[in-house]
Amino acid sequence: MTHDAIAVIDFGGQYAHLIATKVRRQHVLAEIRQPEDPTELFRRYKGIILSGSPSLSSHGEDSAYNKAIYDLDIPILGFCFGHQEIAKHYGGTVVHGASEWGPADLQVVGDSPLFKGLSSVERVFMSHFDSVTSVGPGFEEIGFTTLGEAGASHRFAAIASDALRRYGCQFHPEVDDTVHGDEMIANFVLGICGCSPSWTMDKYVEERVAQVRAQVGDQSVFLLASGGVDSTVAARLLGMAIGPERLHLLHVDNGLMRKDESRDVLEAFRAFGLDRNLHFVDASDAFLTALAGAVEPEQKRKIIGNTFIEVFEREARSRGIERHLLGQGTIYPDTIETGGTKRADTIKTHHNRVPIIEEMLRQGRVVEPLADLYKVEVRELGEKLGIPHDLIWRHPFPGPGLGVRLLCSTGEALRSGFEAIEPAVAEVAQRYGLSALALPIKSVGVKADLRSYEHPVLISGDAPWERLVEAAGHLFKGVAGINRCIWNLGPRAPGRARPLPATVTRDRLALLREADHLVMEGLRRHGIYGDIWQCPTVLVPLEMDGAGREFVIIRPIHSERAMTATPAQLPPRLRDELRAQILALPGVSGLALDVTTKPPGTIEWE
């Protein structure tokens, strides 16, 4: 079956995948395309959406991409940079200035089909430096925003040519902050483009099962089953398509998994009836040997990735992978990020695109039944396939596992800039009746879309949750060199903190595994596991006032897609329970709750 589809041209903006996701919510297929793709490729689409861009400007020199798309007789809609490009291509003017950031009120002009069913004033989200100041023949202004108390207008915030079926929005309809953005996208996709909403999970299952059967024929499939959402759903779908007798599953315990993880994974596949060719390998010795002595976060990631490839190749070949097709739980963002485009090269290489697998792809020997889906769609598919809710909606878990939640150290205090940081954080904290201690370690963060590696601050004292988060915000704004704030849950405010030498060991992993288990069980016991998007537990080799060797940090967050995050409040009773349980673990010097937003702190500490 063929579906009506929309092409989303990715100019490098962080929201391109979000645009595609929002289109798919209308049950219309959306696919990411590159600005340099040939014109012929776009002829099969019912419409095109141009994304924003953080690095390109419509002001000044000409933007380089395939402008022949404008000659196609299909509707085109642009957001932010895409809006400016449409205006400029058809004779409008774009200038550098009149920037807007954050929420704004869009005054809708006329009765454009893009805003059908919406009110005359709509709350939208702006994020731009350049602005459209005039439009060419055949175009008209269909919306503007007002600036400041005097009500000065920012013109041409939305433009249209119904005759040409070209539309532009300076704002971002794809983000949740644009209140009726989904309706605007639906008006374009279903109304202006006339797409039929046939992209559903029921149809996807039907089509994918048929495609897998056609590709596999009478061969067998070998699948690495990590127990994560993607590989579990892929295994279930492959089992439906070819039967369990021709599906071989391999689960590898790398020694960096959560408590009882491998046992639970194997039990789940047995419950699905997929245990006929289910294999298990304990490779923890190989991983821990390779990690011995490693301290730097990026070094640990590379070691874990390389060791995984070595173990995978050895085990796959010993089980005759040459005789089977390779099944993978690759999802759509993985496919795009490793696509070899100008924008994808700098993102990352996934474990499902390493050399041995690339060679099998060239030979047509790889089966990827989820390669068209986003994570939310994979979860929806999993529920359609009858996979238990707890497995489908479990918290995200990083590929390197506990390896990136077990911080390591040479024992040397990282105190760059401390002379300025220490008095500054103390002064800000005092305004809120709190004390503050800058920590002589660093964690990863993100500021202005750039990675930062800066100091955390430990605040101590009693205060309402909202005031703690407010204090953290003022610390980030007022003190340079910090990107994370944690709230002390220990019985007293520590006077000093000292990093201790530590690497990846079985004993440290066992301690982190137990602390993580206590946190996960606590979230479930109090009925809030499903309300929290993710909750890493972190172990830091940090001695507090000479007591113990390990400092435990709990990082519960609320998020929609991990692009941004806010700290999640834990019930006081749960905090008390975790305080008693975790501080009783051997060698623990303290406990804290991370109250950092993203940005400036990433979700994970490494």
Instruction: Tell me the helix, strand and coil percentages in the chain, rounded to 5.
Output: 35, 25, 40
Reply yes or no on whether the pLDDT at 344 is more than 50.
no
Q: What are phi and psi of 520, to 5 degrees?
A: -60, -45
Query: Can you tell me the mean pLDDT for 450-464?
Result: 91
Within 10 Å of residue 179's Cβ, how many Cβ atoms? 15
Q: For residues 306 and 520, give the distance between their C-alpha atoms in angstroms, rounded to a whole number.
A: 29
Q: For residues 186 and 51, give the distance between their C-alpha atoms in angstroms, rounded to a whole number.
A: 16
Of the ranges 90-99, 343-352, 380-389, 419-428, which one carries the lowest mean pLDDT score? 343-352
- In degrees, rounded to 5, the angle at the alpha carbon of residue 147 between the alpha carbons of residues 144 and 153 is 40
Reply yes or no on whether the pLDDT at 342 is more than 50.
no
Q: For residues 38 and 58, give the distance between their C-alpha atoms in angstroms, rounded to a whole number.
A: 21
Domains along the chain with CATH numbers? 5-192 (3.40.50.880), 201-398 (3.40.50.620), 418-594 (3.30.300.10)
Instruction: Tell me the per-residue pLDDT of 282-328, one tens digit each, with 9 for 90 and over.
Output: 999 999 999 999 999 889 988 998 898 788 778 878 887 768 888 88
Reply yes or no on whether the pLDDT at 360 is more than 90.
no
Q: For residues 556 and 554, give the distance between their C-alpha atoms in angstroms, rounded to a whole number.
A: 6
Reply yes or no on whether the pLDDT at 364 is more than 90.
no
HEC readout, 512-574: HHHHHHHHHHHHHHCCCHHHCCECCEEEECEEECCECCEEEEECCEECCCCCCEEECCCCHHH
Residue pair 213/597 in contact by the 8 Å Cβ criterion:
no
Q: In what order do the strands lie in the sheet with 325-327?
A: 278-282, 247-253, 221-224, 325-327, 366-367
Q: For residues 202 and 126, give the distance between their C-alpha atoms in angstroms, rounded to a whole number.
A: 37
Q: So what's the pLDDT on residue 593?
A: 98
Instruction: Tell me the per-residue pLDDT of 491-513, one tens digit each, with 9 for 90 and over.
Output: 999 999 999 999 999 999 999 99
- Residue whose C-alpha is closest to residue 524's, from 487, 567, 566, 577: 577
Residue pair 188/45 in contact by the 8 Å Cβ criterion:
no
Q: So what's the pLDDT on residue 349?
A: 42
Of the ranges 71-85, 98-112, 195-209, which one carries the lowest mean pLDDT score? 98-112
Instruction: Tell me the per-residue pLDDT of 33-74, one tens digit each, with 9 for 90 and over.
Output: 999 999 999 999 999 999 987 666 666 656 778 999 999 999
The tokens for 257 are 């998994």
240 sits in which H/E element: helix 229-242
143 sits in which H/E element: strand 140-147
Reply yes or no on whether the pLDDT at 221 is more than 60.
yes
- Residue whose C-alpha is closest to residue 329's, from 280, 261, 399: 399
User: So which residues are the catalytic ones?
Assistant: 80, 172, 174
17 sits in which H/E element: helix 16-24
**Averaged pLDDT score across all residues of the chain:** 88
Q: For residues 22 and 415, give the distance between their C-alpha atoms in angstroms, rounded to a whole number.
A: 45
Nearest 10 degrees: Cα torsion 409, 411, 415, 416: -60
Q: So what's the pLDDT on residue 417?
A: 75
Residue pair 73/48 in contact by the 8 Å Cβ criterion:
no
Q: So what's the pLDDT on residue 153?
A: 72
Reply yes or no on whether the pLDDT at 563 is more than 90.
no
Query: Can you tell me the mean pLDDT for 394-416?
Result: 89
Of the ranges 111-125, 265-279, 323-337, which one carries the lowest mean pLDDT score? 323-337
Q: For residues 360 and 589, give the distance between their C-alpha atoms in angstroms, rounded to a whole number.
A: 50
Residue pair 386/240 in contact by the 8 Å Cβ criterion:
no
3-state SS, residue 350? coil
Q: What are phi and psi of 144, to 5 degrees?
A: -140, 160
Nearest 10 degrees: Cα torsion 345, 349, 352, 355: 80
User: CB within 8 A of 560, min separation 6: which ones?
Assistant: 176, 533
Highest mean pLDDT among 214-218, 226-230, 302-306: 214-218
Q: What are phi and psi of 70, to 5 degrees?
A: -70, -15
Instruction: Mark out the alpha helices in 90-228 (DSSP H runs).
Output: 181-186, 201-216
pTM: 0.76
